[in-house]
């Protein structure tokens, strides 16, 4: 029971964090058709900027200002780099963001070193939210989940209830028509790109204080975020949320389970044979939990490439 | 092209004759450059010819390496008597089987989705391999020894170099010949219009699978050569970094030209060998070069050369050298400024320097480009700026001038072909 509840809580909160980063990515893909390899780098930059700002001023200023800086970087990337190569096609845009991800990682290594930096939450957030089965549950995890939830709700409200949201959705669905109706579609693209980057930066600023802040964080999270976006359906916000929660829950449960395929074979009396074969059959779920998201992504890509909620194919 | 054959012959002679003059370090770098060239050329068969961008080619490079290591172990322990020179075939076979399997699924999708399937497959292997003791040797990986054969004992780097050279040249020749066959033409048609392939009565999916498998076969051979050269490999060979590197090499070299990826791979590996000893920021430079090429010369170095060859009868060669020299000069200014900037930061932010600062409370001078610099003096930071700003102006002016000359060469020079010539500041 304890395992069930803590794993669920941890899974949901990790899922919310994944959603914070993947929301921008899925919006950008839905609109511009660009799979942004540098997106997770924005998450990393958010964490590092927040670290610097919080050591100069305080944690809250870091949390507020870092996403803004990251958003501005996103806008500059879109305006001066992506737009330049737009005419060469999507593959080229993808390659450019791929190179940028490379540069961001190396710049972080240059300025902050190869090892994790000491980015911590402030002491007044470092307390137990509640006590569960005799162990304290950190408030900060709840805080991460809360920030993500607030972001999801405001994003949804903005997209569905405001004029800006209508223009954005229009530009996503039918860019030419939106242009013809007098909306500045390139400006919308730039704004969405910047906003997506800022959201990822916010995710980094919030999560970096809890999880380690190191130069590998972009690469580690980056592939998982791709999985989320693909499974949820490229371009679908609700799909991303579902997929994030799924993967969050899955990875938090898998760590505690030592089931293996050989165990499954026991049901049909082939368990001993499977154990004698070894290899894939005897690996426990906990040891291959890292591989599961990719398996899921493969299955989705092959069976239903539009993802859970995606409509475009 | 009548210059092509003599050029290649000359290059081959140099590749055979020159390495013995150098030490083991250079020979080792050359081995890596050769392997990277083959890997990039194999990758480009899929990308440049077939139009399929794979983000997981490390998977096939890796399984080729592990297949060869298993065979090497079998030979070493005396289970089998395979001549050492034929070992890379095992890598090719593993790449072929892996490619047929993976290609069957990956080519069901196109565009970004294809790239994502290949990425997922490679990541799957990367996360499984450290737990898979029997095949990938767990986290430690596998090691073996090269066994002597027919009087060669393959103990020195030079012997390994010649073995690699023979394999790489043979494979590249096969790959080049492939582009001339009818099936090679079909591959290009796949890139340009796969709908039409279907109308012509070919099965597009089968064709794609075959192309994928050929590409992975040669990637597997490259991996096998790497395993033979290092005599060891572990799961990190499947990492995204290896997949990423081959993408970088291919596009900097130019994916539209057969020799492009080979140029890119050789330049990057050899340059990396020279520079990585001097700076930790080598990967940063690599990334910067890649992005600059993507922005200003989208067809890569090979594309630039090709554009010059295509336009050779129209270009005003007598008037070109001056603006080209000016462009190069401006580029040198800019590169110097950037290098100065990055290297200064690397020095000043290094652990050793920061430890001195923490101990003494002073910021001592550091040495760069044969002079010593005070990190707190504005002069230090004005130097790169003084180099950079005129550099940008010069490059822009020269580029505009060159652009004009290219545009002036008759209406059929497309903008996309002339545009590459406006770059060069990297």
Three state DSSP letters for B355-375: HHHHHHCCCCCEEECCEEECC
If asked whether residues B15 and B124 sit together in one domain, one would say yes
CA distance B251 to B265: 10
Mean pLDDT to the nearest integer, B85-109: 89
Q: Does B412 score more than 70 pLDDT?
A: no
Average pLDDT of the residues in B276-286: 82
Range of weakest confidence among A21-25, A146-150, B227-231, B372-376? B372-376
Write down the pLDDT at residue B256: 84
Chain A within 8 Å of B288 (Cβ-Cβ)?
yes
CA distance B174 to B169: 9
CA distance A258 to chain B (A): 14
Query: Among A269-283, B32-46, B88-102, where is mean pLDDT lowest?
Result: A269-283
Q: Classify residue B168: in a domain, yes or no.
A: yes
Rounded average pLDDT over B55-84: 86
Counting every residue written for chain A, the total comes to 313
In the predicted model, what is the mean pLDDT of chain B?
83
Q: Is pLDDT at B420 greater than 50 in this prediction?
A: no
ipTM score for this prediction: 0.84
DSSP run (H or E) holding A128:
strand A128-132
Query: Which pLDDT score, from 0 to 100, does residue B99 have?
Result: 92
pLDDT digit string (tens) for B135-166? 787 777 787 877 777 767 777 778 888 889 99
Among chain A residues, the shortest Cα distance to B297 is held by A85
pLDDT at A312 over 60: no
Does residue B362 lie within any of the structural domains? Answer: yes
- The residue that leads in pLDDT, A194 or A34, is A194
pLDDT of res. B351: 77
Does the pLDDT value for residue B422 go beyond 80?
Answer: no
Asked if B53 is an interface residue toward chain A (Cβ–Cβ < 8 A), one would say yes
Residues of A in contact with B127 (CB under 8 A): 288, 290-291, 294
Q: Which of residues A10 and A290 earns the better pLDDT score?
A: A10
Please check whether residues B144 and B279 belong to one and the same domain: yes
Which chain A residues are within 8 Å of B251, Cβ to Cβ?
A: 95
- Of A199-213, A261-275, B302-316, B406-420, minimum mean pLDDT range: B406-420
Mean pLDDT over residues A288-298, rounded? Answer: 81
For residue A107, the number of C-alpha atoms closer than 13 Å in the C-beta half-sphere is: 16
In this structure, what token pair is assigned to residue B270?
A: 């050899």
pTM of the model: 0.85
Structural domain includes residue B54 = yes
Report the pLDDT averaged over residues B112-136: 84
Domain boundary at B295, B324, B340, which? B295
Based on the domain organization, do B285 and B336 belong to the same domain? no
Same domain, B288 and B319: no
Contact criterion met (CB < 8 Å) for A230 and B116 = yes
Same domain, B280 and B318: no
Q: Is residue B303 part of a domain?
A: no
Using an 8 Å CB-CB cutoff, list chain A residues near B124: 291, 294-295, 298
* Confidence class for position A268, pLDDT limits 50, 70, 90: low
**Residue A149 in this model has a pLDDT that exceeds 60:** yes
* Co-location of B317 and B283 in the same domain: no
CB within 8 Å: A90 and B240:
no
Within-domain flag for B216:
yes
The residues on A that touch B, with CB distances below 8 Å, are 33, 35, 81, 84-85, 88, 90-92, 94-96, 98-100, 102-103, 106-107, 109-111, 113, 219, 223, 226-227, 230, 278-280, 283, 287-288, 290-291, 294-295, 297-298, 301-302, 305
* The three-state (H, E, C) secondary structure of B227-275, written as one string: HHHHCEECHHHHCHHHHHHHHHHHHHHCCCCCCHHHHHHHHHHHHHHHH
The predicted model gives A46-69 an average pLDDT of 90
Is residue B379 domain-shared with residue B272, that is, in the same domain? no
What value, to the nearest 5°, has the Cα angle with vertex B127 and ends B122 and B131?
130
Asked if B135's CB is within 8 angstroms of A227's CB, the reply is no
Pairing of strands A128-132, B232-233: unpaired
Contact in structure between B293 and B300 (CB atoms under 8 Å):
yes
CA distance B123 to chain A (A): 7
Q: Residue A276: which pLDDT band, with cuts at 50, 70 and 90?
A: low
Which of residues B239, B270, B295 is at a domain's end? B295
The per-residue pLDDT for range B215-260, each reduced to its tens digit, is: 999 999 999 999 988 888 888 888 888 898 899 899 998 888 888 8
CATH number at residue B261: 1.10.3470
b/e burial code for range B195-230 (CB count within 10 A of at least 16 → b) = eebeeeebebeebbbbbbbbbbbbbbbbbbbbbbbb
**Which residues have C-beta within 8 Å of that of residue A205, sequence separation ≥ 6?**
A46, A47, A49, A50, A62, A63, A66, A67
pLDDT category of residue A71 using cuts at 50, 70 and 90 = very high
**Are B399 and B424 in contact, with CB atoms under 8 Å apart?**
yes
Q: Which residues of A touch B109 (CB under 8 A)?
A: 301-302, 305
Mean pLDDT across B84-100 = 89
Q: For residues B168-180, give the mean pLDDT.
A: 91
Tell me whether residues A92 and B298 touch, CB distance under 8 A.
Answer: yes
Tell me which of B252, B271, B295 is where a domain ends: B295
Can you give the pLDDT at residue B421? 42
Interchain pair B105, A298: CB under 8 A: yes
Three-state SS at A309? coil
Domain of residue B372 covers 311-422
**B348 touching chain A per CB within 8 A:** no
Q: Is the pLDDT of residue A280 over 70?
A: no
Q: What percent of chain B has pLDDT over 90?
A: 18
Q: Which fold has domain A2-258?
A: ABC transporter involved in vitamin B12 uptake, BtuC (1.10.3470)
Same domain, B265 and B169: yes
B351 and B418 inside one domain: yes
Q: Do B283 and B346 lie in a common domain?
A: no
In chain B, the N- to C-terminal Cα span, in Å, equals 29
- What pLDDT band is residue A263 in, cutting at 50, 70 and 90? low
Q: Are residues B206 and B291 in the same domain?
A: yes
Interacting residues of B296 by C-beta distance below 8 A, sequence separation 6+: B419, B420, B422, B423, B424, B425, B426
Asked whether the beta carbons of residue B108 and residue A110 sit closer than 8 angstroms, the reply is: no
Beta carbons of A283 and B251 less than 8 Å apart: no
Q: Tell me: do B351 and B318 sit in the same domain.
A: yes
* pLDDT band at residue B314 using 50, 70 and 90 as cut-offs: confident
Q: What percent of chain B has pLDDT over 70?
A: 95
Look at residue B326 and tell me if it is in a domain. Answer: yes
Share of chain A above pLDDT 70, in %: 86
**Three-point CA angle A228, A234, A239, nearest 5°:** 60
Q: Domain residue spans in chain A?
A: 2-258
CA–CA dist B37, B100 (Å, integer): 23
User: Crossing angle for the helix pair B111-128 and A217-232, nearest 10 degrees?
Assistant: 130
Looking at the 3D structure of chain B, how many domains does it have?
Answer: 2
Residue A279 has pLDDT above 70, yes or no: no
Closest Cα in chain B, distance from residue A130 (Å): 35
Å from A268 to nearest chain B CA?
25
B251 contacts chain A (CB < 8 A): yes
Instruction: For residue A32, list chain B residues with Cβ-Cβ distance below 8 A.
Output: none
Best mutation target, A98, A112, A299, to test chain B (most B CBs within 10 A): A98
User: pLDDT-based confidence at A226, cuts 50/70/90?
Assistant: confident
B115 contacts A35? CB cut-off 8 A: yes
Q: How far is A9 from chain B (nearest CA, A)?
A: 25
In a domain, B366, yes or no: yes
- B134 in a structural domain: yes
């Amino acid at each position: 029971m304890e395992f069930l509840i803590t794993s669920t809580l941890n899974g949901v909160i990790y899922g919310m964090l994944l959603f914070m980063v993947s929301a921008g990515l899925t919006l950008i893909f839905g609109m511009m058709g660009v799979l942004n390899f540098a997106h997770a780098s924005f998450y990393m930059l958010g964490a590092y900027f927040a670290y610097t700002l919080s050591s100069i001023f305080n944690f809250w200023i870091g949390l507020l200002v870092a996403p803004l800086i990251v958003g501005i970087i996103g806008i500059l990337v879109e305006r001066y780099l992506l737009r330049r190569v737009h005419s060469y096609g999507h593959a080229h845009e993808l390659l450019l963001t791929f190179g940028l991800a490379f540069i961001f990682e190396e710049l972080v290594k240059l300025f902050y070193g190869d090892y994790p930096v000491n980015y911590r939450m402030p002491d007044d957030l470092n307390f137990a939210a509640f006590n569960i089965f005799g162990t304290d549950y950190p408030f900060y995890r709840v805080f991460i989940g809360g920030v993500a939830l607030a972001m999801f709700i405001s994003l949804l409200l903005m997209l569905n209830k405001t004029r800006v949201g209508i223009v954005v959705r229009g530009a996503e669905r039918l860019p030419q028509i939106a242009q013809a109706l007098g909306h500045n579609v390139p400006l919308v693209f730039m704004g969405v790109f910047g906003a997506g980057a800022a959201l990822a930066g916010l995710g980094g600023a919030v999560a970096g204080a809890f999880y380690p802040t190191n130069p590998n964080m972009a690469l580690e999270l980056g592939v998982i975020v791709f999985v989320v976006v693909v499974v949820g359906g490229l371009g679908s916000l609700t799909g991303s949320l579902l997929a994030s929660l799924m993967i969050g829950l899955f990875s938090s449960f898998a760590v505690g389970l030592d089931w293996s395929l050989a165990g499954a074979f026991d049901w049909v009396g082939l368990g001993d044979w499977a154990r004698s074969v070894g290899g894939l059959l005897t690996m426990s779920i906990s040891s291959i939990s890292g591989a599961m998201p990719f398996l899921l992504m493969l299955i989705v890509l092959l069976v239903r490439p539009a993802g859970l909620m995606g409509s475009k194919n | 092209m009548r210059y092509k054959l003599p050029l290649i012959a000359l290059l081959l002679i140099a590749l055979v004759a020159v390495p013995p003059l150098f030490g083991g370090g250079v020979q080792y770098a050359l081995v890596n450059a050769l392997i990277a060239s083959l890997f990039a050329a194999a990758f480009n068969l899929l990308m440049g010819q077939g139009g399929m961008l794979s983000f997981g080619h490390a998977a096939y490079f890796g399984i080729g390496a592990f297949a060869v290591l298993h065979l090497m172990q079998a030979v070493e322990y005396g289970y089998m008597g395979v001549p050492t020179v034929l070992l890379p075939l095992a890598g090719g076979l593993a790449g072929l089987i892996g490619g047929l399997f993976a290609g069957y699924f990956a080519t069901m999708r196109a565009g970004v989705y294809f790239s994502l399937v290949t990425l997922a497959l490679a990541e799957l292997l990367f996360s499984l391999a450290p737990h898979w003791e029997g095949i990938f040797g767990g986290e430690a990986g596998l090691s073996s020894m090269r066994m002597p054969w027919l009087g060669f004992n393959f103990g020195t780097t030079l012997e390994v170099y010649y073995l690699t050279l023979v394999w790489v040249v043979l494979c590249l020749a096969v790959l080049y010949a492939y582009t001339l066959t009818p099936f090679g033409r079909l591959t290009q048609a796949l890139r340009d219009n796969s709908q039409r392939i279907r109308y012509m009565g070919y099965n597009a999916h089968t064709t794609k699978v075959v192309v994928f498998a050929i590409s992975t076969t040669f990637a597997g051979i490259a991996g096998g050569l790497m395993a033979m050269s290092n005599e060891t490999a572990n799961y990190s060979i499947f990492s995204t970094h290896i997949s990423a590197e081959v993408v970088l090499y291919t596009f900097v070299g130019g994916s539209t030209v057969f020799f492009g990826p080979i140029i890119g791979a050789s330049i990057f590996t050899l340059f990396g060998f020279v520079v990585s000893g001097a700076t930790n920021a080598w990967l940063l430079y690599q990334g910067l070069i890649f992005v600059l090429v993507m922005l200003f010369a989208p067809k890569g170095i090979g594309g630039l050369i090709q554009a010059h060859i295509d336009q050779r009868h129209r270009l005003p060669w007598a008037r070109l050298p001056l603006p080209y020299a000016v462009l190069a000069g401006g580029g040198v200014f800019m590169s110097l400024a950037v290098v100065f900037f990055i290297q200064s930061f690397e020095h000043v932010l290094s652990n050793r320097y920061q430890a001195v600062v923490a101990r003494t409370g002073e910021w001592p001078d550091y040495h760069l480009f044969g002079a010593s610099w005070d990190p707190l003096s504005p002069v230090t930071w004005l130097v790169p700026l003084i180099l950079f700003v005129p550099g940008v102006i010069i490059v822009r002016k020269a580029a505009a001038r060159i652009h004009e000359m290219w545009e002036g060469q008759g209406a059929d020079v497309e903008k996309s072909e002339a545009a590459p010539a406006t770059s060069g500041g990297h």
